[in-house]
Structure 1
Amino acid sequence: MLGLDERTETVYRMMLTHHRWGIKELAHQLGMTEDELRAALDRLTDLRLLIESAPRGEVAPVSPEVGLQSLLRRRQEELQHRQEEVERCRIAITSVLDEYADLYANSQRRHAEQLIGIDAIQARIGDLAAQATFECVTFNPGGAQSAASLAASKPLDESVIGRGVMMRTVYLDSVRNDSLTAEYADWLTGLGGEVRTVPALPVRMLLIDRRVALVPVDPANTRKGAVQLTGAGVVAGLVALFEVVWRDATPMGACTERNEKGLTGQELELLRLLAEGSTDAGAATRLGLSLRTVRRMMADLMERLDARGRFAAGLQAGKRGWL
């Protein structure tokens, strides 16, 4: 997370206790070649964990209290920046969908086509997947997938990946607790696809070859139908949104980690949703969790914050830098 690989960390630790040793002594004690050691020293310098001391031009390690805290602050700033990027993309997508919703009725826009009914949507997904030549990426909010839905997806997925098309899928973190979805993810990964998860997703979405997008008419109610978008600007925006989310998503086979405040991604997203005025039910929908689970998570957070009510919890979360 901080940019320190095992070798670089080992060199840093050794220099803290033997800062007067030279290149040869360090390389010998660490079992490295001098080139490997110099590469690690360059990395430590880039991370500002080594400084050059005048006038002899030697390098010395920065104390962990200063150096590592500085690294952590930079990492926090980067994560905050990425979260802001995702939020800006989410707002932009909502605006685009609202704009196109007003244009369908005129039937004057060739870049947008509305699909009504699940049969029409599924048929279009099949057609688009059959036309894919190099990439198929999806956002799948809503939590655990049904056995019927997963079984229906397999033949299409197998056909697409079998043609050499790259397939990347993002689910909610909540699917990690569902054995059927986890088994499907393992199966898809075995074929050559990639699966990652995040605490929350902005919208359900399918992107084919970075030229066609399929999104719901109403992100809050996918039963209202879907829209196929082919406008270059709109599709480019959706591709950018996907890449931002994908970059911060956790591979399905890896464990989700707690941040420096001890919060999981789901807990942090729950606090954000509630701070925005979302109800427990609304937060449960966004996170793909049951209402009971969300309430249990909130009770646990309030206990950790030593807060008796949600307002007090919000104040404490702000004071502690959780939000």
Structure 2
Amino acid sequence: MTVKHALNIVKMKKMKQEQIPLTMITAYDYPSARLAEEAGVDLILVGDSLGNVVLGYDTTIPVTIEDMVYHSRAVARGAQHTFIVTDLPFMTYHGSIDETMRQVRRVMQEGHAHAVKLEGGAEIAHTVQAVVQAGVPVLGHIGLTPQSVNQIGGYRIQGKDQADAERLMADAKALEQAGAFAIVLELVTEQVAEAISKELAIPTIGIGAGRGCDGQVLVFHDVLKYAPDYREKKFVKTYADIGEQIRQGISEYVNEVKKRVFPGEQHVFAADEKVVDGLYGKGKVEG
């Protein structure tokens, strides 16, 4: 079996030049990361979306650096040959550079990530530059930025008018100039995302940003419809419905236990007759 080698940021830029799309998927634990790697994804994002998806929060805002380090470390164990990017969570990179570096160090050293992702545009470019200069690859993230959902008025499509389009373009250029190796474009109109992708020398990775990006990212649980109360999303295509399979499987298990169908003969271990005699007395266990 051929061992997969993780991408690096130089190869990703070359893939853009050669028009080879990048594939990214979120993963939050060992088994999902292992399966994603075996399926051949280029990058894994340990997103702070884990707050919504696996921790039961309404937004990503409650997610802590401890959450991110814990889940990043699990993903790194599962996908040892895949490039892993881990989110810096809410308000961990808006203070002093020293404080930001402490959070970055934890994600890299304890979480075993290869890169970090920061939400925001021109307003955080100086932070991105400092992190890059410290030797850490940075993935930018503009458009809909979930950590700012309360400020931007909800989960709204970005780039719908000229002023917003120009702002997004300026943010993308600022992040590229600061040294980001790629930029996630989330819920951006297709035309604006395509224009940004053509303008930049670094790859763009879209989620709800149309067909003109240099790559795509989706959430593991959306791709597989793995949720108890899954909500359809226009920008998502689901490729399997394992949520329903899980529900049916567990339901069948419960029913079989209640009816004493499980465990069956094939699931039990037999002791030697002498052991049985010692427990109950010879001749007491008959037919």
Q: TM-score by structure 2 length? A: 0.31
TM-score by length of 1: 0.28
Report which of the two has the higher share of helix. Answer: 1
